[in-house]
Amino acid sequence: MLQITARDIAALTGGALVGGATGDELVTGVAQIDSREVGPGDLFAAFLGENADGHDFLDAAHRAGAALSLVTEERGVPAVRVDDVRTALSLLAREQLGRARRENPQLVVLAVTGSAGKTGTKDLLGTILGAHGTTIAPAGSFNNELGLPLTVLRLGAQTRFLVLEMGARGIGHIAQLTDIARPDISLVLNVGSAHIGEFGSVDAIAQAKGELVEALAPEGRAILNAEDRLVAAMAQRSPAPVVTWGITDGDVRGAELTLDERARVRFDLVVPEGLTTLHGQPVPTGRFGVHPDLLGEHQAANVLAALTAALVAGVAPAEAAAALEGATLASGQRMQALEAGGVLVIDDAYNANPDSMRQALKTLAHLGRTHRTIAVLGEMLELGPDSVRLHDEIGRLAVRLNISQLYSVGDGAAPIHHGASLEGSFGGESEYLDTVEEAIAVLERTVQPGDAVLLKSSRDAGLRRIAGPLVEHLARRDGSAGTTQNGDQQ
């Protein structure tokens, strides 16, 4: 975070100095909402959450070295009292980004949105850009009106690239986020059925995602998926030049797409003549091999999108491809490969929608060449009145893909089992389980060396609680430590 005094924070947020604050307190660290993460010089924001009130942790934050706190009520520690902490953080973030741009004209702000894959793509951009200059791209999904300001407030004087993820649960949400942090490069991945229950239609989702493109200045750049018609159509909404990407169509392409025996994606980055960076420099042309440690053909689109945005940001193609050699995602539970006891566990239980569920099942089916395949699927949330039909379709697809064993977990996932049964699953190949605990018990009893297990659901469906106990059980049974696919111990 750029240095700022309590007096300036009060002026920017319309707040008042309280708790003995003199106005000379100097914030030199970052903004935190968890007192356990506070360090010397940090700003602690006493945010009122669903399960905790940050005001109860003001003393702990002060003892940990917080220079100042943002509060809505005085509790006897140096603070700025505001009407709303979230709004105050947004105002502060917008000012800090403006200061950073003035002090460092080379700063490039990149923003990513899409119905699926935006967190992973943000992680990939962070990997590529981080090899080229000081980069802020935090792990996890800091993509809303609280997470985004906290990310912006991590800016330092030497930051070269700021990578932001922007999510939406309604029209106007991304516009609010871009009002805090206007991007130089806007990357739109796809428009799918995620959160369709809240938006009402896919067209409404496209309208919301396109707000990221509309926020660009004329000297910015829009990076659009040429193979998603709703995304490609956003070119008409862009005040800035457009660069497209796609596996078979677009300015920047991915050629010779394959999956290896472990379902890791491989392709060639094809850079055309005439492509220029954000600052007008020509991008070297040619073909460059890309070999990340990511599972599934669908990952190619996310990788190619990140590469295209990085090229426009000024990274040479050879350097960008090299940065992704063996790369994994910083944010966990997104097609995360874990191995223990001769079993491959694919933890993709952070989020789910019909598109990502289909992609994950296809990846599992590819592994069926060398593994017995087991799909453990939970509910996909926020699908509205189409929920039963969409879950039913997933069950039918699992049968058509010849998945060896299907477990559907929880009431909301029951239509998956129903669809599989109607499609022709028999003899126990599809089974319904009531709870996550039951699923863990069944898996611990039945999974054998040589199996590949996919865990997939929306985060609040609870399947994210399976991987840890399952991998620990398999490791104990085998007498070895669990590892990720690239060999890191868990």
Give 453-479 pLDDT, tens digit per residue.
Answer: 999 999 899 999 999 999 999 999 877
- How do residues 104-143 score in pLDDT, each as one tens digit? 999 999 999 998 889 999 999 999 999 999 999 987 778 8
Which part of the chain is CATH 3.90.190.20? 336-484
Contacts of 31 (CB under 8 A, 6+ apart): 1, 42, 43, 44, 45, 89, 92, 149, 150, 153, 154
Which of 342, 343, 373 shows the shortest CA–CA distance to 360? 373
The average confidence (pLDDT) of the chain is 93
From 3.30.70.920, 3.40.640.10, 3.40.50.12280, 3.40.1190.10, which CATH number describes the 88-323 domain? Answer: 3.40.1190.10
* Residues written for the chain: 490
pTM value is 0.87
Which residue in the block uniquely carries the two structure tokens 């539970």?
333
Domain 4-83 has CATH 3.20.20.70: no
Q: Is 430 exposed, middle or buried (0-12, 13-18, 19+ CB in 10 A)?
A: buried
Rg value, the chain, Cα: 24
How many whole angstroms separate alpha carbon 42 and alpha carbon 27? 6
Q: Confidence band (pLDDT; 50, 70, 90) for 382?
A: confident
Q: What percent of the chain has pLDDT over 70?
A: 96
From 3.30.1490.100, 3.40.50.300, 3.90.190.20, 1.10.10.10, which CATH number describes the 336-484 domain? Answer: 3.90.190.20
pLDDT at 489 over 50: no
pLDDT of residue 351: 86
Which part of the chain is CATH 3.40.1390.10? 4-83
